[in-house]
Copies of this chain bind each other. A is one copy, B any other.
Amino acid sequence: MTENEITLAIIKALKEGRKKQFQEIIDELHPYDIALQYKTVPAKHNHKFLSYLSIEQLTELMEELEQEEQLEVLEALGARRSTKVLDLMENDELASFLSDLEPEKIKELLADMKHEESETVQNLMNYPPETAGRIMNNRFVWIKKHYTIGEAIDKLKHFVELAEYLNYLYVIDEDKKLVGVVSYRDLLLADINDRIEDVMYSRVVKVEVDTDQEEAAKIINRYDFVSLPVVDEDNVLRGVITVDDVLDVVIQEANEDIEKLSASGKSIDFNTKPIVAAYRRLPWLIGLLFVGLVSGGIISGFEDTLGTVVALAFFMPMIAGMTGNTGTQSLAVVVRGLVTEDLSIKQVVHLVFREFWVGIIIGITCGFLISMIAYFWQGSFILGIVVGSSLLITLIIGTLAGTIIPLILYKLDIDPAIASGPLITTINDILSLLIYFGLATAMLSQLT
């Protein structure tokens, strides 16, 4: 059946009140597809759609929705069923659903939940945002190392709903400290009477609860893991991070890098309202407006020079633009490089020297080119020299600024991507105009 046929079959079942038929269709769908169908069927059927779903299916549906839709679903379910759904939701999904809500609303939602579940979620929400503790969940199965393979499989069967997305069992000692890991594959391959401690892998790669989520993503990516255990400072197993959460982290971090590099404001997507999008973008734009005015101020300082040789204005956008562009290029290389690599001092020195050479090469190329163009266009040899040598100098400086500033911010533990808008643009704009008009003024007698 295609998606459309499924939708039609679902609507038919809903209209005719055939719950069993509806269930049979839904049973074959993945959570993402259930959510898709829920959003596709006409809104008037929504209530019946929800009432026909089992608690497990409702939970799966909830985890695929946006916060606003989640609230609507809970509203429609009524207190009793929504509490059951919240109990069943993965803790990390629940924590992220709750995180932006009013404290009042959170209290209300958590009030009727199982004490154990609501406590776990509240603990999760106590970890700082963007840490391993915040994105981990407690849906994993642990075993003791003296278990036999048979006992481990029995425990796995017992906690089957917890074991959905993983393919490891984690081994802990009597203090709940993490001592090993066994994959489902190892369970399948071992003899039923083998002991866990003989097949388990004891050098476990793990992260601590306060590890940055980017770091956790780096590790999962490096080792090609499906999940990664999270421990506290005493090596007690607190949760696991799964690769599907890491995929979300990687996409989110890439989006944040792009937001900052393009100074486009936080979290604007296709569904953001105009007024909100404008509100998030305006601070950057107003900041950049004043940056533009600083440039204007510098130009006004050279009003006499400019009044004498109006042709100088023709090359102004090009020089400022080029310096900004080369700075952004270097910045992008640094920001993205830091996603997959850690930097030693040696590499920093190497990188700065590399960019210095890059600046010289592109400076000489572009400087020579523009001086020729300026000469032939405006017929002034001196103007060509002024424009060309300004571009040479500003390209070298722009390249270095785009490299060094994000590296300094990185060492200071400030996100280097944020450097783009304000710092590098301002510095490069100001420096390029100062150099250009400074050189022009110095050679003014030759220019006129």
Query: A interface vs B, CB < 8 Å?
Result: 28-32, 153, 156-157, 160, 163-165, 167, 184-185, 187-189, 202-203, 205, 220-224, 226, 242-244, 246-248, 250-251, 254-255, 257-259, 261-265, 268-270, 272-275, 277-278, 281-282, 284-286, 288-289, 291-293, 295-297, 299-300, 303, 306-307, 310-311, 313-322, 325-326, 328-333, 335-337, 339-341, 343, 347, 350-351, 354-355, 357-358, 361-362, 365-366, 369-370, 373, 395, 425, 429, 433
Query: Nearest chain B CB to A267's CB is how many angstroms away?
Result: 10
In the complex, A278 Cα to B333 Cα: how many Å? 12
**Which residues does chain B contribute within 8 Å of A31, judged by CB atoms?**
223
Asked if A317 and B296 make an inter-chain contact with CB atoms under 8 angstroms apart, the answer reads yes
Cβ contacts under 8 Å, A341 to chain B = 269-270
19 inter-chain pairs at a CB distance below 8 angstroms, sorted by A residue, are A32-B222, A184-B185, A246-B247, A251-B339, A251-B340, A254-B254, A258-B335, A259-B336, A262-B329, A270-B343, A274-B355, A275-B357, A277-B333, A278-B357, A285-B329, A286-B366, A288-B322, A297-B314, A317-B429
A270: contacting residue among B188, B254, B337, CB under 8 A: B337
Q: A226-B243, A299-B314 are in contact. Are A322 and B254 (CB under 8 A)?
A: no
Partner of A317, one of B284, B285, B292, B303: B292
- Complex contact B311–A300 (CB within 8 A): yes
- Chain B residue numbers with a CB within 8 Å of A318 are 289, 292-293, 295-296
Q: How far is the CA of A56 from the CA of B433 in the complex (A)?
A: 60
A contact patch SS = helix
Q: Which of B222, B331, B361 contacts A262 (CB 8 A)?
A: B331
B333 and A264 contact, CB distance less than 8 A: yes
**How many copies altogether?**
2
Query: Is B187 touching A188 in the complex (CB atoms < 8 A)?
Result: yes
Whether the pair A322, B163 counts as a contact (CB closer than 8 A) is no
A221 and B244 contacting across the interface, CB-CB below 8 Å: yes
B365–A282 contact, CB under 8 A? yes
CB distance from A222 to the nearest CB of B (A): 5
B270 touches A329 (CB 8 A): no
What distance in Å separates the Cβ of A194 from its nearest Cβ neighbour in chain B?
A: 14
Question: Which of chain B's residues have a CB closer than 8 A to the CB of A273?
Answer: 354
In the docked arrangement, what's the CA distance between A32 and B277, Å? 42
Bound Cα distance from A261 to B425, whole angstroms: 16
Residues of B within 8 A of A251 (CB): 221, 250, 254, 339-340
